[in-house]
């Protein structure tokens, strides 16, 4: 796949080299086109090194234009991706202005165009930017993201560029070709987030899970070419692009949704923090306070993970063990008792695990283990998916593995 990758002048341009790598890992050929402002944030030298091609930036570069004109570049592209896309470039594309090479290509191409906006949340929510977004979408331009979260300016909100993996997956899905990820053609079901177990119409029992790990894993699997079904408990996260999301509330709902989705699945990853117990009866009306104390009778919830692992045609099944103590011991016990293929053990507590952006984990399987030091949940998810794919093919037979195009370590 030929991709013209436009890089514009946003702070997220620092992620561009990683994005180039992710796209190339999937077999894409990349021609980078930078705006003048982008050159303030990231050097052409670095980008040339990772893309393996000289950078284009100046519309009036006679030599480059003679070698491949802007019109030839526009025809060469199977997709034009702009990441990060500034508010300014969105406005230029909406107006049809073409004062630079990148926007000239956008006007001259018949290929799909995708923009991954990245900007301060106030800029993103500005009515002008939102009107531009709406016009771009009406014209069939794909808007990938942005994500919600902490921003370079120190504030929180919508406007973060999505992670390179997620952008790469979306771009490959757009053009119908899923690229050459490790999980190409595989179906992966992931559960994420907490569950809510109703006590009465207004109260419920839940836990501190934010869903970030499960969402990261689902995105990483999609980025590796898998068809992903994400079964999500109630979370406050943006929907990752390029996968199917089924939203549920209780452990019972998650059990039903999982067993529906699991048919034909190759891999099941249970990252959700499912309640172990639920109130035995849900009061029809709000419970009124009377006595100094009250007793809530609880009943065991269905064990989703064990029930999937026990299926005759069980997929490769990976569980999570979130523990506050005796991590490895409890995790290995759970691996054996529930007959899992792998278990990801991570410590949870005041300053680690739930509702954070980073995490460390030890992955255990029958006869081995591997530890991953603290890193962002996005990076950890990527590592976990690569390890899961490796073991999945080891169990199912390497002949089922897609052939990958490997880029050199120098890249």
Ligand X SMILES: Cc1cc2nc3c(=O)[nH]c(=O)nc-3n(C[C@H](O)[C@H](O)[C@H](O)COP(=O)(O)O)c2cc1C
Q: Give contact residues for ligand X (rule: CB under 6 A).
A: 8-12, 35, 37-38, 86-89, 118-119, 123
Q: Which is nearer to ligand X, 36 or 296 (CB)?
A: 36
CA angle 143, 144, 146 (to 5 degrees): 105
Least separation in angstroms between CB 103 and ligand X: 8
The candidate with the shortest Cα–Cα distance to 330, out of 343, 349, 317, is 343
Q: Which is nearer to ligand X, 126 or 206 (CB)?
A: 126
| 205-236 as b/e: b if 16+ CB within 10 A | bebebbbbbbbbbbbbbbbbbbbbbbbbbbbe
Least separation in angstroms between CB 64 and ligand X: 18
Measured CA to CA, the distance from residue 106 to residue 103 in angstroms comes to 5
Six-digit token string for 67 = 């070698």
Catalytic residues: 153
Cα–Cα distances (Å) from 294 to 41, 289, 290, 300, 328, in that order, read 60, 9, 9, 20, 37
Measured CA to CA, the distance from residue 150 to residue 277 in angstroms comes to 34
In the sheet that 368-376 helps form, which strands lie side by side, from edge to edge? 244-247, 227-232, 187-192, 267-270, 316-323, 342-347, 358-365, 368-376
Which residue is listed with tokens 């408990």? 233
Q: How many CB atoms lie within 10 A of CB 410?
A: 7
Q: Which is nearer to ligand X, 20 or 119 (CB)?
A: 119
Least separation in angstroms between CB 127 and ligand X: 15
Least separation in angstroms between CB 37 and ligand X: 3
Least separation in angstroms between CB 7 and ligand X: 8
Q: Which is nearer to ligand X, 102 or 182 (CB)?
A: 102
For residue 294, which phi and psi values (nearest 5 degrees)?
A: -140, 155
Least separation in angstroms between CB 131 and ligand X: 15
Q: Which is nearer to ligand X, 1 or 46 (CB)?
A: 46
Six-digit token string for 260 = 């529906």
Q: Which is nearer to ligand X, 9 or 145 (CB)?
A: 9
Each as own residue / partner, the long-range contacts of residues 280-283 (CB below 8 Å, 24 or more positions apart, any chain) are 282/198, 282/199, 282/200, 283/199, 283/200, 283/201
Q: Which is nearer to ligand X, 30 or 161 (CB)?
A: 161
Least separation in angstroms between CB 153 and ligand X: 9
């Amino acid at each position: 796949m030929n991709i013209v990758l436009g890089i514009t002048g946003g702070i997220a341009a620092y992620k561009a080299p990683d994005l180039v790598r992710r796209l190339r890992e999937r077999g894409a050929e990349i021609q980078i086109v930078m705006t003048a402002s982008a050159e303030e944030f990231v050097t052409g030298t670095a980008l040339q090194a990772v893309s393996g091609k000289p950078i284009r930036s100046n519309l009036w570069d006679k030599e480059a234009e003679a070698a491949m004109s802007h019109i030839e570049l526009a025809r060469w592209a199977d997709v034009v991706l702009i990441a990060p896309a500034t508010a300014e470039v969105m406005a230029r594309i909406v107006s049809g202005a073409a004062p630079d090479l990148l926007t000239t290509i956008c006007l001259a191409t018949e290929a799909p165009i995708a923009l991954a906006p990245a900007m301060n949340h106030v800029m993103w929510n500005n009515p002008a930017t939102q009107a531009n977004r709406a016009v771009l979408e009406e014209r069939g331009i794909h808007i990938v993201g942005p994500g919600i979260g902490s921003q370079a300016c120190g504030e929180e909100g919508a406007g973060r560029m999505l992670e390179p993996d997620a952008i790469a997956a979306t771009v490959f899905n757009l053009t119908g070709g899923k690229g050459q990820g490790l999980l190409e053609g595989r179906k992966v079901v992931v559960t994420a987030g907490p569950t809510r177990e109703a006590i009465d119409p207004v109260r419920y029992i839940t836990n501190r899970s934010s869903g970030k790990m499960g969402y990261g894993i689902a995105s990483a699997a999609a980025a590796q070419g898998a068809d992903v079904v994400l079964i999500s408990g109630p979370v406050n996260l943006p929907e990752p692009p390029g996968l199917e999301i089924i939203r549920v509330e209780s452990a019972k709902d998650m059990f039903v949704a999982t067993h529906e989705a699991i048919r034909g699945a190759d891999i099941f990853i249970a990252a959700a923090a499912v309640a172990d117990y639920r109130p035995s009866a849900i009061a029809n009306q709000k419970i009124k306070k009377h006595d100094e104390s009250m007793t809530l009778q609880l009943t065991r919830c269905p064990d989703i993970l064990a029930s999937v692992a026990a299926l005759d045609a069980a997929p490769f099944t990976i569980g999570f063990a979130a523990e506050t103590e005796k991590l490895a011991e409890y995790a290995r016990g759970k691996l054996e008792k529930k007959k899992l293929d792998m278990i990801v053990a991570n410590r949870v507590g005041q300053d680690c695990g739930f509702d954070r952006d980073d995490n460390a984990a030890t992955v255990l399987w029958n006869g081995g283990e591997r530890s991953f030091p603290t890193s962002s949940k996005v990076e950890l998810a990527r590592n976990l998916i690569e390890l899961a794919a490796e073991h999945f093919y080891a169990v199912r037979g390497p002949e089922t593995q897609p052939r990958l195009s490997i880029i050199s370590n120098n890249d």
